[in-house]
Structure 1
Amino acid sequence: MGKIILENIKLLGFHGCMSEEKYVGSYYTINIEVEFDFYQASVSDNLTQTINYVDLYCIVKEEMKINSKLIEHLAQRIIQKIIKKYKKPLIKHTKVKICKENPPLQGNVDRVCVILDN
């Protein structure tokens, strides 16, 4: 068993419930973990026997283009796209962490994050 981890993907997105978030946008940091058995790929050195991290990045990038009120919803969409592409039996566990950098709050908060495990 092993994991592919994409750490600190930084993208601009237009997610949130406040009207200015839909127009001004915010920067987001996204982390993804996909756990699966990649023994065959480690032995064969064959990309077709593993999960391509370029594909994972593309899934995140495409889902970030679709506005959501909640980053919880965005996290769920990302996980569902990963599972749909690679099928549940191959994937044992998926985890997505999304952080909104500099959220529009009346205080000094660096980021607000959600974590979704599936």
Structure 2
Amino acid sequence: MKVHVNNIKVYAYHGCLDEEGIIGSEYRVDAVVDVKNKLSHQNDDLDQTVDYSLVTQIVVEEMAIRSKLIETVAAKIIKRILNECTHSKHVSITVTKINPPIEGDVETVSVTLSSTDI
């Protein structure tokens, strides 16, 4: 079973450019967490599954810590989810930067990282 937490919207200050640390940007984060207990849907017990409010809290807290690369932020989010969500066994995170400060008409850039990558 997988728990999806999609389109977590945050404003953060990631990027290699100095101005990104001052101005910031809008981000969206998507999390997919594989649940260890395949039968958690039969128990109707939050303690037997992944709490998506905790996943959201971890994302918001980690996005608040400035990094140059969104890959770095994704890895930190994955590590925390695996450590704090005891029923998680595999995590995939997509971090999307809205309107990145690069040449051309680019709406978003994103990176997807999974726990098998780190």
**Normalized against structure 1, the TM-score is what?**
0.92
Question: 3-state DSSP class of the match of 2:41?
Answer: helix
1:81 matched to 2:74? The reply is no
Matched with 2:21 is: 22
1:91-110 equivalences in 2 (<5 Å) = 91-110=88-107
Percent of matched pairs sharing the same residue: 38
Question: 3-state DSSP class of the match of 1:15?
Answer: coil
Gaps of 5+ in 2: none
Which amino acid is 1:17 matched to?
A: C
Matched with 1:55 is: 54
* Number of residue pairs matched by the alignment: 115
Which amino acid is 1:69 matched to?
A: K
Gaps of 5+ in 1: none
Q: In 2, Cα distance between the equivalents of 1:82 and 1:15?
A: 20
User: Per-residue deviation at 1:37?
Assistant: 3.6
User: Per-residue deviation at 1:65?
Assistant: 0.8
Query: What is the Cα-based RMSD across aligned positions, in Å?
Result: 1.2
**Normalized against structure 2, the TM-score is what?**
0.92
Q: In 1, Cα distance between the equivalents of 2:61 and 2:47?
A: 22
Matched with 1:114 is: 111
List 4+ stretches of structure 1 deviating above 2 A. Answer: 37-41
1:65 matched to 2:64? The reply is yes
Q: In 2, Cα distance between the equivalents of 1:46 and 1:110?
A: 40
